[in-house]
Amino acid sequence: MLLKKLSEAFGPSGCEQEVRTILREELKDHISEWQRDALGNLIACKPAAAGPRVMVAAHMDEVGLMISSVDSAGLLHFHKVGGIDDRVLVSKPVLIGKGRVPGVIGAKAIHLQRPEERTQVIPHRSLFIDIGAKSKEEALEKVKIGDYVIFATQYGELGASMAKGKAFDDRAGCAILAELLKEDYSFPLYGAFTVQEEVGLRGAGVAAYAIEPDLAIVLEGTTCNDVSGIEEHEYSTVIGGGPAITFMDTSAVGNKAMIRELVRLAEANGIPYQFKGTVTGGNDAGRINISRAGVPVVAVSIPCRYIHSPVSLLSLADVEHSKALVKLFLRSIEGGFRV
Ligand code: CO
């Protein structure tokens, strides 16, 4: 299953090779023209003689860690790659480097903590990764400074139509984009699998500059806080509520005509949808939006509970509905929809 493969792939920001390989393999019978730029963006080109140039983007990278030093006891110290809450790190199993060396993020056991320590967040600088090495030398035989680290989380399905796994932000978007690219369209379509979103939306800007799109859709995994203790009006998105359309966040304002068309298509075809209820955070849409002389954009997102942590949860129905809605939007462009 593609989402499982993508979710379990090794791909923190700047280290997206494994994800690129999976996508190229998945699409080998459907895409004849690929572009890969200096940053590592992978662009699937589906040329056509006429029609607007359409960019659909999803980022390949995930949040992770990077080894910064190894101490004399053989313990690895690390930096964060992207936004990770220090509180989700303690005691998590991880995999280090391309060789996937297993390790555990260590911290002082509760028995050993002073009462005041038990109420404090342990900053990641005070944590370390234990790979079972007894010395610096032994550790450096297995890992290198600069090695990336991912959470050792396997994909699984639970409940009626939910899945758990890491990196659904944004491998869910990548999985949908791959499916969309398996079909043919009458206008030039550019499927941009971007890099380094989690460290500052870097890949998308470069990709948009190269593609010069007339309009763009960004497929994302987004926050979902529809859980107890939060007022309904503060929900960002609701899991199972369908694709989340973003009016505005800190990176971009969604194009009104595109939003209206998405809503019209959803309602006409019985596809559930929702509007993202919060404006915090940003994504690739922000960079594509301000590329060259400006590009109309809209982000369509899959709600992901516990995003940017070792394990998040999504609704497989949301994935299907998002794919269906964006596909209808692309068909609508074929039918003459213009921004
Ligand atoms: Co994302």
Structure tokens at 5: 């493969």
Contacts of 120 by beta carbon, 8 Å cutoff, 6+ apart: none
Is residue 23 classed exposed, middle or buried when 0-12, 13-18 and 19+ CB atoms within 10 A define those classes? buried
Q: Is the pLDDT of residue 110 over 90?
A: no
Q: Is it the case that residue 109 has pLDDT exceeding 90?
A: no
% the chain with pLDDT above 70: 100
Token pair for 14: 């700047």
Distance (angstroms) between ligand 1 centre and the Cα of 265 equals 25
Residue 70 alpha carbon to ligand 1 centre in Å: 30
List CB contacts of 143: < 8 A, sequence separation 6 or more.
67, 70, 76, 96, 97, 101, 131
| pLDDT tens digits for range 143-168 | 999 999 999 999 999 999 999 999 99
6 CA → ligand 1 middle, Å: 14
Q: Which amino acid is at 118?
A: R
Domains of the chain in start order, with CATH, are: 2-62+166-334 (3.40.630.10), 64-151 (2.40.30.40)
SS3 (DSSP) at 286: helix
Residue 157 CA to ligand 1 centre (angstroms): 21
pLDDT digits (tens, 9 = 90+) for 272-316: 999 999 998 899 999 999 999 999 999 999 999 999 999 999 999
Does residue 260 have a pLDDT over 90? yes
Cβ pair 249, 298 in contact under 8 A = no
Catalytic residues: 197
C-alpha 94 to ligand 1 mean position (Å): 21
CA 101 to ligand 1 center in whole angstroms: 26
Dist CA 296 CA 319 (whole Å): 23
Judged against a pLDDT cut of 90, whether residue 43 lies above it is answered with: yes
Give distance in angstroms: CA of 266 to centre of ligand 1.
23
- 142 pLDDT band, cuts 50/70/90, is very high
* Amino acid 77: pLDDT: 98
Q: 2-26, pLDDT tens digit by residue?
A: 999 999 999 999 999 999 999 999 9
What H or E segment, with its residue span, contains residue 138? helix 136-142
CA angle, corner 297, sides to 177 and 268, nearest 5? 70
pLDDT digits (tens, 9 = 90+) for 56-97: 999 999 999 999 999 999 999 999 999 999 999 999 999 999
Of residues 176, 205, 146, 207, the one with CA closest to residue 3: 176
Whether the pLDDT of residue 232 is over 90: the answer is no
